[in-house]
Homo-oligomer: A and B are copies of this chain.
C-alpha cells in the first residue's frame, strides 16, 4: 500500500506541544502516515487566513491526502465538525468557514458531520478538539477506513464572506486578501482576468498607480513596486527584493484595481 499523506494547517504555532501531540495521536492510529505541516503560523483565530493557505496548497498533494485543518476559536461550543471528500481529496476541520474556499473550488463535495465517537479519543476535552477529534478522525481516514463511517451527510453551515472582485469593461476592482512573509500582497483578482494577448494592464491602489503587470519581480529595479501574476493564481503586489506591505502600506482589505 502506498504511504498515506496527511497535511496539518493550524493556528497553534510551533512553540508549544500542540502540533506534536496531534502527530502522536495520528501515529498511534496510523503509524505509516506521512505527516506534513502546511503551516501552523495562521494568526490565532484567523479563519480566513487559514482557509486561504489551505486552498492555495491542497491541490499539490498526492491524491488521497487527508488535509487536517484546525483554526477553531469556537472549540467546545456546538459548532459542528466536518469531514469532506471531493475529487480524491479529504478534509477534516471545524464548520466555521475554514474549509469553505477549498470546497468551493472543488465543486462537488461529499460533506459529513463528524459524529463517530469510536474514531475520537476516549476522553474528549472541550478545549483541544485538534488532538481529541480531528487528529484521530484524520488518522482513521488515512488508514483507509470507510469515509461514510465518519458520520451522517451534512451541509456546511458557515461560508466565509470573502470580498469578490468586480469586473467592468475597463477595470477589475478587488482587494488584498493575504500578506505573506516577504510582504507580498496577494489579491482576489485571478491571473486569468488580466493575462492574455493585448491585455497590458496597470494596477492601482485607489487612485495611485503602482506598476503595469509584469512577468516577474526582477522586471523592475531593486526596491521598486511590481505587480505580477502570483503563484497562488491571483494578482500579487510586490517590491523587488523589498517589502511591499510595508513600503506601500498594504494590508488585508486594501482596495486594488486593474485597469486597461
Footprint of B on A, CB under 8 Å? 2-3, 5, 7, 9, 12-21, 23-25, 27-28, 31-32, 34-42, 44-45, 53-54, 56-58, 60-62, 65, 73-77, 125-128, 131-132, 180-182, 215-219, 228-231, 236, 238, 241
- Is B57 within 8 A of A24, CB to CB? yes
Contacting A128 at CB < 8 Å: which of B31, B132, B231? Answer: B231
Measured CA separation A244–B60 after assembly (Å)? 38
Residues of B within 8 A of A215 (CB): 76, 126
Minimum distance in angstroms from A234 CB to a CB of chain B: 11
With most chain B CB atoms within 10 A of its CB, the pick from A5, A20, A31, A217 is A20
Measured CA separation A41–B18 after assembly (Å)? 12
Measured CA separation A15–B38 after assembly (Å)? 9
With most chain B CB atoms within 10 A of its CB, the pick from A7, A32, A38 is A38
Residues of B within 8 A of A42 (CB): 15
Measured CA separation A20–B61 after assembly (Å)? 9
